[in-house]
Amino acid sequence: MSRSIQEQTLALAGIFQAAALVQQIAHQGQCSNSTFEACIRSLFATNPESTLAVYGELKDLREGLNALAGVLGEQSKQQDMEILRYGLNLIQLEAKLNKRNDMLDVISSRIEQARHTANHFGYGHRNLTSNLASIYADTISTFKLRIQVTGDPNQLRVEENAAKVRALLLAGIRSAVLWRQTGGRRWHLIFNRKKVIATARELAEKANESVYH
């Protein structure tokens, strides 16, 4: 597999991992804590040695790689359609954000301020989650294009769930930035779709192996 396709697939997996967790929280009110933390941790990887280093190890992206292969492949399930919509919306929002240097500065300085909370409490702590959720609400939520999260209204009314959703959407934007930086473009999702699916499946297999060994 070519290096650029691999890097782009890892970043796309980051986008779709965040999207998949949003979908799970919206419907079930919960998701894997370790996968959630991998998404949140990516926000603080400001000077990574590699694309993978943004997330940790390959196993930390397993859910995203599987989701990516699923939504670009069959899309037979309702949840696949929701995850795909969230993922594509995140890519669109990042394109808008990329033209707003003022907003990018605000986001990066506030994430830097949140680093202390992350170091002190850990990436899964509710203080950090609500902090990141407020960054999303004050910046990206002000765009005309809004991500409509659908699910169980009772779950979405829970304050902690709503905060997790916003924090994950912020992490999804971070991965969309990374995808663009690795050369990812929206038309690739159409013309390179088969390559991306094959690469995602291959990397997911490696991720599964690393989990079970």
| Residue among 19, 33, 143 nearest 82 (CA) | 19
Amino acid, single-letter form, for residue 39: C
pLDDT tens per residue across span 30-89: 999 999 999 999 999 988 999 999 999 999 999 999 999 999 987 678 889 999 999 999
The tokens 């998949």 sit on which residue?
20
pLDDT tens per residue across span 4-35: 999 999 999 999 999 999 999 999 999 999 99
Domain spans in the chain, listed from the N-terminal domain onward: 3-212
Structurally, what CATH architecture does the domain formed by 3-212 represent?
A: Orthogonal Bundle (1.10)
CB-CB contact of 155 with 28 (8 Å):
yes
Say if residue 192's pLDDT is above 80. yes
* pTM, full prediction: 0.96
CA–CA dist 123, 145 (Å, integer): 28
Say if residue 208's pLDDT is above 90. no
**Residue 211 pLDDT level (bands cut at 50, 70, 90):** low
pLDDT tens per residue across span 79-132: 899 999 999 999 999 999 999 999 999 999 999 999 999 999 999 999 999 999
How far is the CA of 189 from the CAs of 9, 22, 194, in angstroms? Answer: 10, 21, 9
Dig out the tokens for 43 from the structure. 């926000």
